Chains A and B, each alone.
Chain A
Amino acid sequence: MLRLEPRPGASRLWTYASPLLAIALTVGLGVLIFLALDKDPVRALQMFFWEPLKSKYAIGELMVKATPLLLIALGLSLCFRSNVWNIGAEGQFVIGAVCAGGVALLASKDTGAWIVPALLLAGVLGGMAWAGLTALLRDRFNANEILVSLMLVYVAIMVLTYMVHGPWKDPAGFNFPQSKTFESVTKIPRLMSGSRANIGVMLALAGAVVLWIYLFRTRAGFAQQVGGLAPAAARYAGFSSRRALWVALLVSGGTAGLAGALEVAGPIGQLTPYVPAGYGFAAIIVAFVGRLHPGGMVLSAILMSMFYIGGELAQSRMGLPRSITGVFQGLLLFCLLACDTLVAYRLRWMPKGGR
């Protein structure tokens, strides 16, 4: 029978091979699901792994979805490395979008180009404030940050719903719960024509570089991680755990807020109840599949983005249910967690009766 045996040390090979095996397993399980649904698995896999890469336009769409995922995951990875469990990036994303939307609504026909940095800043500050609530409750009352941040997601969605049903509802919008379309001056500049990808891509990639430098080349980033890996050692060294908590939550709130701002002022162009698209939750998977490493997260963000687009295509072209995207995301995280066992353990074939 098969037996798990602890390795003497963590396996370097499997640290990198585990995400790849997880992807392979996810694909394998996906094929089974497609067969069970009586769909052609080859064509379905094509939707997920070929269609999103087929053309320049498709790649642009891939970047549109990967940008918020990567931005949010960067912030979350800092949290998770600091042992702060921010599960509420979705809420910080929504509040960032609301704040950026509020600024964008101030613009008129003759507003200058300053409005774009202003609304991005508003998004960042909004996300930071929302995450700051969690930090405050944890710091002052030792409230569990997992629960608080998660609950605040639903509060944030209520805030958005109220704004688009109430004060910010478009008077000329036939009573639809949505704001008026933002002025074109607020539009985030695009990277190239013929694609919806905007400078958010550059911001996200720059963020990955900055995070790498912070984590691996500065004492502050080192201190942040010691707090997560060995709290007693951080206390011994004199690194403040309160500081680590605030930095982690403010940074992740800020990146989620920025992603929200880029989203409403970019592809969406107005505030609607459909702003929350699950990026905040999907980014948790992105962060772990990317091994909480900035480089890894760039790749995993692209992969998750493929799942999003593939899911939409499978829905429209093959009549697969909408939940297929979520199924794939969940399968991937599930497989990764299972495969990660191989980092610390190895499989040994044991003849029966032996020990």
Chain B
Amino acid sequence: MSASAATDPAAPRLALRGITKRYPAVLANDRIDLQVLPGQAHAVLGENGAGKSTLMKIVYGAVKPDEGQIRFNGQPVQIRNPQQARALGISMVFQHFSLFDTLTVAENVWLGLDKSLSLAEVTERIRSKASEYGLEIEPERPVHTLSVGEMQRVEIIRALLGEPQLLILDEPTSVLTPQAVDKLFEVLRLLVSQGCSLLYISHKLHEIRALCTACTVLRGGRVTGVCDPREESNASLSRMMIGAEPPPLQVHQRQPTAPVLSVRGLSLPKAEPFGVDLDRVSLQVRGGEVVGIAGVSGNGQRELMWALSGEDERAPEAGGQLLLHGQDIAGMGPGGRRRLGLHFVPEERLGRGAVPSMSLAHNLLLTRSESLGMAGWIRTGALAEQARGLIERFRVKAGGPQALAQSLSGGNLQKFIVGREIEARPKMLIVSQPTWGVDVGAAAQIRGEILALADAGCAVLVVSEELDELFEICDRLHVITKGRLSPGVARDQASVELIGEWMSGLWPEAAAEGHHAQA
């Protein structure tokens, strides 16, 4: 199969010509051409802010382009809204699910359809679609009992019920285990073989290569390359995507020192109805060591981070022990732990790691106190200077110390927050999702900074959903599933298959412990 359109006699399923969209501050799409053939899996590759989402919203009718032409099956069309897109045969599965927790699967799907069908008929159609594509789903189950992977299946079935000729998927694998990704790809390949076209948005190069036969690369709102991803290398793809290859990470051999953070048998009942109970979590991080926690989100990562950072105030009553340098820190709040050298980067940047409507300089005050004088007097000059230094050192693209946190892009704000904690020279750094939604360049920089900190003797704990990232920077890996933490495994003894298996809770000790519990 060739990616070029010239050899194919049929009209392309979707053809975009000269699509341009201007926003007050940016040119989101600049004369973009894109062509998807019938039965083709077409990848749209690009960093955050490259214009992928805007382009997809234009195709799905959620955004109106300023200029350009859209042809669907050879016919020029004007897609005014998502309803019209669906009528044409275009469906979209969003990165963030739009499901109501308290309703069942069938009710959720029913809500999105026109009301000509009864709930029983919808249930029947879900069943038949599910069996047709091997998507296991029970239509009667309430959504809050589903795993994230199952919720995504609901979204996909909902999209498939519209009998789409073009299915748009926005970063669909970010919430899946490796095994679940394989399953998803089987479904998608089946769809493609039946003649449905895919537009697959991602920044994960190996996935694109495994699934797609054509690829359009965007950078800064423009097309920088059209290629067959199977014939390209990672290096050549990233060159098209970011204009350069990210510098290789400097991984040095380190000798771990004494234990810094010791967690022994930490148990904590969930604080929210849809939370996760932490069940006898044990873990140790030594100085100069990077320990990673893998796992699909929603398996207790948030709860564990709350307990470790001190944001969960119930820690004193929790079962188990929490030691920093041998000192019991269970009764301390975030401020006390920070004074002992434990710094934390949360996964939510806006609203937790930073106050959106405050300046970068003021956001320093959340965790840093160098610019305070007597009795908490804020020395504004020193504070601005401190922020300026941080912006420079970590190459944060911002309007200066007085720029509001919400005016920064996700990657730049993350650089600022990670920088704020790293520059405090912590003894223990905990980072949750260090590169979530961060572009490749910034991600490489953040990973490099984390490794440099470990080189300097700091103990580092990284929680991430990106296995590649964990394998790249961690010395030792744990897996978290349903509030339970697997034993650690050294990186050179771990494999993606092993970690994937552990994500289903199947680690050796689990079986043994289960027997104990039953005995």
Contact = CB atoms under 8 A, between A and B. Distances in A.
A237 B346 CA distance: 11
Contacts of A237: 334-335, 365-367
B357 A229 contact: yes
Contact of B334 (A218, A230, A235): A235
A222 B407 contact: no
B355 A218 contact: no
B448 interface: no
B358 A229 contact: yes
Contact of A232 (B64, B352, B365): B352
Contacts of B344: 236
B23 interface: yes
A223 to B, nearest CB: 8
A217 interface: yes
B24 A236 contact: no
A83 to B, nearest CB: 12
A319 interface: no
B244 interface: no
Interface stretch (B164-172, B373-381, B390-398, B474-482): B373-381
Nearest to A354: B64
Nearest to A232: B352
A352 to B, nearest CB: 15
Contact of B366 (A7, A216, A220, A226): A226
Interface in B34-83: 64, 80
B64 A238 contact: no
A9 interface: yes
A232 B369 CA distance: 19
A236 B25 contact: no
A217 B377 contact: yes
Contacts of B24: 7-8
Contact of B64 (A8, A226, A355): A355
A233 B353 contact: yes
A54 interface: no
A109 interface: no
A219 interface: yes
Interface residues of A, number: 21
Interface in A225-247: 226, 229-230, 232-233, 235-240
B331 interface: no
B362 interface: yes
A235 B348 CA distance: 13
B187 to A, nearest CB: 35
B219 to A, nearest CB: 22
B333 A233 contact: no
B372 interface: yes
Chain A interface main SS type: helix
Given A237-B334, A238-B310, A219 B358 contact: no
A7 B407 CA distance: 13
Given A222-B378, A237-B367, A232 B348 contact: yes
A219 B335 contact: no
Interface string A195-228: 0000000000000000000001111101000100
A42 B358 CA distance: 44
A307 B366 CA distance: 42
B220 to A, nearest CB: 18
B366 A233 contact: yes
Contacts of A218: 375-378
B372 A230 contact: no
A183 to B, nearest CB: 40
A236 B80 contact: no
Contacts of B333: 238, 240
B23 A236 contact: no
Contact of A222 (B64, B348, B365): B365
A225 to B, nearest CB: 8
Nearest to A10: B357
A129 B12 CA distance: 75
A350 to B, nearest CB: 12
Interface in B335-387: 335-336, 338, 344, 346, 348, 351-358, 362, 365-367, 369, 372, 375-378, 380
Contacts of A9: 404, 407
Nearest to A216: B378
B182 to A, nearest CB: 36
B311 interface: yes
B365 A233 contact: no
B309 interface: yes
Lowest 5 A-B CB distances belong to which pairs? A238-B335, A219-B376, A238-B334, A237-B366, A232-B352
Interface of B: 23-25, 64, 80, 309-311, 333-336, 338, 344, 346, 348, 351-358, 362, 365-367, 369, 372, 375-378, 380, 404, 407
14 contacts: A8-B23, A9-B404, A217-B378, A218-B376, A218-B378, A219-B365, A222-B365, A226-B355, A230-B351, A232-B352, A236-B346, A236-B366, A239-B335, A355-B80
Given A235-B311, A237-B334, A238-B338, 16 more contacts: A8-B23, A9-B404, A9-B407, A218-B375, A222-B362, A226-B358, A226-B366, A229-B358, A230-B351, A230-B354, A230-B356, A232-B352, A233-B351, A233-B354, A233-B366, A236-B366
